[in-house]
Every structure is written in C-alpha cells, then in structure tokens.
Amino acid sequence: MSQSAISVVWWRRNCHRTGRTRSSTPSLARRHRCARPNAASSSSASAVRARFPTTASRRWCSRTKPRPTRRPTNSARNILPNCARKPASLNADGGPPLALSSGDPSGIGPEIALMAWADRKRLALPSFYVLGDVALLKGRAAALGIDIRVQETAPGEASDAFDGALPVVPLENRFLDQPGLPNAANAAGIVEAIDRAVADTMGGAASAVVTCPIAKKPLYDAGFAFPGHTEYLAHLSEKATGRAVTPVMMLAGPELRAVPVTIHIPLSEVPRRLTTAAIVETATITERDLAGRFGIAAPRLAIAGLNPHAGEMGAMGEEDETIVRPAVEALRAAGIDASGPLPADTMFHAAARAGYDAAICMYHDQALIPAKALAFDETVNVTLGLPFVRTSPDHGTAFGIAGKGVARPDSLVAALRLAKRLADGRARAATP
C-alpha cells in the first residue's frame, strides 16, 4: 500500500473515532468580510470614522451573522479564540488585567490597541492596560479620528480605569511617532514594554502577557541578541525563575492549532537542525499545555512529515523515516496519542482536522500557512512552555498601512480573549 493510501486509511479511522465521516463533515462557511474604505480616496481620519460610525464605540465591523464555530465538541475542547463567540462578560470573575505591550510604534500596534478598546463593550473584552507612550497613543488616536480617553495609570489601577479610558502604564523610554518608518531608536522602549509586561504578570499585577507585533530588523540594528519574541520571553522566564524553559510557538485559531518544531531559521537549514529529540520535546510540551491550559483531557497530535508525501517510505528523502518516525514512536511509548509522519498536503482539510487537536509541523511555513489561510483575522500566536500565559496577534507590524486607519484589530481581539481564558483556566487548575 502506498504512503498516500495509508494516510487516507488513517484519516478515515480517526474520523470514525470522532463520529465524523467525509460525507457528514460540514463544509466551511464562507467568511463574512467587512467592507473596507478606499484609502486612496479618503483621509485616515475619515476612513476610520466610516468604519467606526459611533463616537462611543467606533465600531470597526458590522457583521450580519456570526462566523460558525468549530465542530460540535465538549466544553473542554471549546476554548477557541473565535471572534464571533462573545461571552456576556469576560471580566465577570474579576482578576488582574492583561498586560499589553505596545509593540513597534511605527507599526499598527498602537492603533489596533486603540480600536480594540474603543469597541470593548460590544466585544465584551477583558480589561487590559497598554505598556506604551501616552503622548504617542493620544496623538495616534487624534490623527485617526478615534475619540477616546487615554489615561496614564498604574497596573493596579488599570481595571478600575478601563471602563472610561484606555489605561496606559507609561514607559521610561519615549517613542518616535512615525507610522510606517521603523527606527532603531525605538528599540529600547519596545524591549522595555516586553520586560515590564512579563514582570507584571509574574509578579501578579497582570494575569497574562499580550504582545503587539515587533519587527526584528530595527531591534537587531540596536543590538537585540534574540531571534524574536518567543526566544526573548524564554530568556526573561529563565532570568526570573532560574529554570531553563523551552518555548513552543502555537498558532491557535477557530479551525486549527498548529505548532512548528523549527521556527525562525532558513528553510535550507531545517533538515540539518531537525532532530528526533526536538520533535519529542515540542510535542510533549504541546500535549501538556493542551491538557493543562486548554482543558483537553486526552490531546491528539498529528505529526507532519518533512518531505512531500512524508517521504514515500524513503523515496523522497530519508528524514521522515530516520528522524520523524522515531519521534512518533517515542511519543506513543510515553502514552501520548500521536500519529505520523503524515503527508502535510492532506493534513489540513476539514475532515483531517477533525481527527486531531494540534498539528506538529516540521518548519515555520508548514504550520503558519494553513493556520493563517484558514482564519487570518482570528488566529492567535500562543507561546507554550512558559510559566505564564502569553498570546499575540498572528500578523506582523504592517508598516505599509500603519497610521492609515485601515488596520483591523480582529486578531488582537482574539489574542486578548484567549489570554483571559487561558489565564483563568490556569488559575483554576492551580486552586486546590
């Protein structure tokens, strides 16, 4: 039997396990897109006013019907960052606010934070405060025509201020207010915001860290020595606790959770850097956090192959037989429900996704392309393996549209919601 035939049998078996068949799997509903203004024919301020029709909320979206949720599942599997699923109140049980780092000020981070707060009541957002530059946020709001109050505050006062103003905990480093023009001079403030968000969360002043996007080049130009957000968060965790951690990136959306084993390295280096031990460690951390934070009692992992058709039994590369398959066998031996190596080109359609709770992928784009293609505006970057909850929008700084009033806060909204849910779940799990 060919490898592709084996994969089909595997998927059918797993669909049967969940009570789903190919014929009974509902098709994905067409996504409802909000109308966007033409930036070329309107000013930034008027573009935002067109999308935010009321002064109080400046609504950025007017959906006629909600996006359908994922396949029917038990409540434990229903912790998803779905923009359409709005609870009555995410702050009903209180708790510390979320700490939101402002990201690169030349990108869209400041404006999506403003937009999210402006629509907080309709979206039932949890309370959060921004670690940023008060003057820049006020100036950006004025430039975009977003009529909101920005209030300087302390973390402990943020929840009380949240209903009437966007709480901002000021940084010692100031930012240059130049939308679309990244500058290494902003690096100190960008890093300070991350440092303080982590310190606040680990100290109990905040319940979780949510980070707006950063760009690597300006940070590298200023001497930043880490590949990206994820690795730097691991460094801060180790510095605070004295214990080494392995951070794992997960893209969590309403249709898919995907985890890359290798992350920010050139594709040409992936075969050399990929190891059985790395796959086992990444999958083990994923399984542990799916159970401990997402509340999934018995997580199921689908392990992707590296090569086309998962190597076709060695005909298209040996790595799947010599590296990936031994990892899957080790995971099974440890009691983890893992299957693979599986051809990546058949792992991400609806019937296949019904058979697992997370896909473990071998490299960055193998995980991020399907995650973003399925739900770009609603997918959230979650860092697993840390002693605190961290989420982020799944997009970058978007320098090309910064300050133009056309950015969408959807992914940040999803990141705030998921951070709150994961933090609450972690708190409940820690309560005797």
Q: What is the CATH number of the domain that holds 167?
A: 3.40.718.10
Does 45 reside within a domain? no
**Quick check: 294 and 301 in contact, CB under 8 A?**
no
Does 17 reside within a domain? yes
Reduced to 3 states (helix: H, G, I; strand: E, B; else coil), residue 384 is strand
Domain count across the chain = 2
| Residues making up the binding site | 229-230, 264, 309, 364, 372, 381, 390
Report how far apart, in Å, the C-alpha atoms of 46 and of each of 168, 255, 409 are. 26, 35, 18
Does 38 reside within a domain? no
**Quick check: 180 and 106 in contact, CB under 8 A?**
yes
| Residues making up the binding site for a divalent metal cation | 264, 309, 364
- Predicted confidence at residue 314, as pLDDT, reads 82
- Predicted confidence at residue 316, as pLDDT, reads 86
Same domain? For 228 and 259 the reply is no
Does 82 reside within a domain? yes
How far apart (Å, rounded) are the C-alpha atoms in residues 9 and 129? 50
How far apart (Å, rounded) are the C-alpha atoms in residues 394 and 97? 21
Tell how far CA 161 is from the center of its chain: 26
Same domain? For 281 and 220 the reply is no
Tell how far CA 292 is from the center of its chain: 18
Token pair in block for residue 97: 């606010």
Give all strands of the β-sheet with 257-260 in edge-to-edge order. 150-152, 166-170, 128-132, 98-101, 209-211, 390-393, 380-384, 248-252, 257-260, 358-361, 300-304, 337-342
Q: 368 phi and psi, to 5 degrees? A: -80, -30
How would you class 172 by CB atoms within 10 Å of its CB: exposed for 0-12, middle for 13-18, buried for 19 or more?
Answer: exposed
Q: 361 phi and psi, to 5 degrees? A: -110, 160
- Predicted confidence at residue 287, as pLDDT, reads 98
| Residues making up the binding site for substrate | 229-230, 372, 381, 390
Does 34 reside within a domain? no
Helix H segments across 75-157? 109-118, 120-123, 134-144
- Predicted confidence at residue 379, as pLDDT, reads 92
Q: What is the identity of the amino acid at 137?
A: L
Does 390 reside within a domain? no
Same domain? For 235 and 124 the reply is yes
Same domain? For 2 and 57 the reply is no
- Predicted confidence at residue 216, as pLDDT, reads 92
- In the DSSP assignment, the letter for residue 147 is -
Task: Render each residue's pLDDT in the chain as its tens digit; 432 residues.
Answer: 444 444 433 444 444 333 333 333 333 333 333 333 333 333 444 444 444 444 333 333 333 334 443 333 333 333 334 333 443 334 444 689 999 999 999 999 999 999 999 999 999 999 999 999 999 999 999 999 999 999 999 999 999 999 999 999 999 999 999 999 999 999 999 999 999 999 999 999 999 999 999 999 999 999 999 988 889 999 999 999 999 999 999 999 999 999 999 988 899 999 999 999 999 999 999 999 999 999 999 999 999 999 999 878 888 889 999 999 999 999 999 999 999 999 999 999 999 999 999 999 999 999 999 999 999 889 999 999 999 999 999 899 999 999 999 999 999 999 999 999 999 876 555 443
Same domain? For 224 and 334 the reply is no
The sign of the dihedral angle between the CA atoms of 181, 186, 189, 190 is positive
Same domain? For 263 and 133 the reply is no
Same domain? For 187 and 238 the reply is yes
Same domain? For 91 and 185 the reply is yes
Same domain? For 235 and 269 the reply is no
- Predicted confidence at residue 307, as pLDDT, reads 95
- Predicted confidence at residue 429, as pLDDT, reads 52
Task: Report, in this order, helix, strand and coil percent for the chain, each rounded to 5.
Answer: 45, 10, 45
Residue found by looking up tokens 């707006």 in the block: 212
Does 428 reside within a domain? no
Same domain? For 121 and 213 the reply is yes
With 0.85 as the threshold, say if the pTM is over it: no
- Predicted confidence at residue 227, as pLDDT, reads 85
Domain that holds residue 401: 52-245+396-423
Q: How many CB atoms lie within 10 A of CB 173?
A: 15
Does 79 reside within a domain? yes
Same domain? For 202 and 304 the reply is no
Same domain? For 259 and 239 the reply is no
**Quick check: 11 and 355 in contact, CB under 8 A?**
yes
Q: 129 phi and psi, to 5 degrees? A: -125, 150
